[in-house]
């Protein structure tokens, strides 16, 4: 879409999962010139959904998200971009009825839009702009476990970036799980293990989804943005 777009298969280099998602990250600011033109290729339903956004920047993020997701789906399936139909499940999570084995997810914040697709995988992706003026201590108490809050506090002057790294890791996993707003995000704890791998754990009792070999990866999103990807092989039916 622009020279600044990045599209790649993820390379975590340490696990035994063969299939990996493909990720694309784009900048609405850099895509402005082509966005209006390319948006014409989107189905009516999506252009109508876009028109519900009052702010142009929200509309652009939505449109760009749907466009880069379609680019990834086209590369994976060969479907013409104009023939790709996306639906939402009961939690609002997009899926591809024509090829449900290809899981899809996307995220947008600030000047970043990110999309991921993975065959035979469950995928979640999250990007967040490093918004200033937030009370990260108060918000952290509502969403992070004591361990996670300690990681953020230990980052000192890098606490804002650490906050959003921890946030996007957790949010990417929540989006992969696809249940919408979890009753309490503190029930999931993302730990950085000694080997540098991020590992999710349920705090207290809960369903065993996290036992299914989740992979968590920090995505390089450039200045003032954090991003993360979560995926795992889909269990056989």
Ligand X SMILES: CC(C)(COP(=O)(O)OP(=O)(O)OC[C@H]1O[C@@H](n2cnc3c(N)ncnc32)[C@H](O)[C@@H]1OP(=O)(O)O)[C@@H](O)C(=O)NCCC(=O)NCCS
Site string for ligand X, 123-162 (x = CB under 6 A): ---x----------------x-------------------
Order the strands of the 22-26 sheet from edge to edge: 6-9, 22-26, 112-119, 102-109
Residue 55 or 181: which CB sits closer to ligand X? Answer: 181
- Tokens standing for residue 43: 């189905």
For tokens 């002057």, the residue is 157
**CA atoms of 219 and 16, how far apart (whole Å):** 20
Supply the minimum distance, in Å, between the C-beta of residue 108 and ligand X: 4
Note whether 97 binds ligand X by CB under 6 A: no
Supply the minimum distance, in Å, between the C-beta of residue 158 and ligand X: 19
Residue 11 or 220: which CB sits closer to ligand X? Answer: 220
Note whether 221 binds ligand X by CB under 6 A: no
Note whether 110 binds ligand X by CB under 6 A: no
Supply the minimum distance, in Å, between the C-beta of residue 15 and ligand X: 23
The answer for residues whose C-beta is within 8 angstroms of residue 112's C-beta and 6 or more apart is 25, 26, 27, 28, 127, 129, 221, 222, 225, 227
Order the strands of the 121-129 sheet from edge to edge: 121-129, 225-233, 215-219, 198-202, 188-192
Note whether 170 binds ligand X by CB under 6 A: yes
- Tokens standing for residue 130: 């490093």
Q: Where are the alpha helices (DSSP H) in 131-228?
A: 136-143, 146-154, 159-177
Supply the minimum distance, in Å, between the C-beta of residue 215 and ligand X: 17
Which residues bind to ligand X, rule: CB under 6 A?
A: 62, 65, 91-94, 105-109, 126, 143, 167, 170-171, 174-175, 178, 180-182, 185
């Amino acid at each position: 879409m622009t020279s600044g777009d990045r599209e790649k298969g993820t390379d975590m280099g340490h696990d035994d999962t063969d299939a990996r998602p493909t990720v694309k990250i784009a900048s609405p600011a850099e895509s402005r010139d082509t966005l209006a033109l390319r948006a014409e290729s989107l189905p009516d339903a999506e252009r109508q959904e876009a028109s519900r956004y009052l702010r142009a920047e929200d509309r652009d993020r939505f449109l760009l998200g749907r466009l880069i997701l379609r680019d990834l789906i086209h590369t994976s399936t060969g479907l013409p971009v104009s023939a790709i139909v996306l639906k939402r499940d009961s939690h609002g999570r997009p899926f591809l009825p024509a090829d449900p084995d290809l899981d899809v997810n996307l995220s947008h914040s600030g000047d970043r839009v990110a999309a991921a697709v993975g065959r035979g995988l469950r995928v979640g992706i999250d990007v967040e702009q490093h918004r200033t003026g937030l009370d990260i201590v108060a918000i952290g108490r509502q969403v992070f476990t004591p361990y996670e809050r300690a990681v953020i506090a230990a980052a000192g002057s890098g606490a804002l970036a650490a906050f959003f790294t921890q946030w996007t890791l957790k949010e990417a996993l929540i989006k992969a799980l696809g249940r919408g707003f979890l009753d309490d995000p503190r029930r999931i704890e993302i730990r950085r293990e000694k080997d540098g791998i991020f590992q999710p754990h349920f705090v207290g009792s809960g369903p065993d989804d996290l036992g299914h070999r989740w992979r968590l990866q920090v995505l390089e999103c450039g200045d003032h943005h954090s991003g993360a990807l979560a995926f795992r092989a889909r269990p056989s039916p």
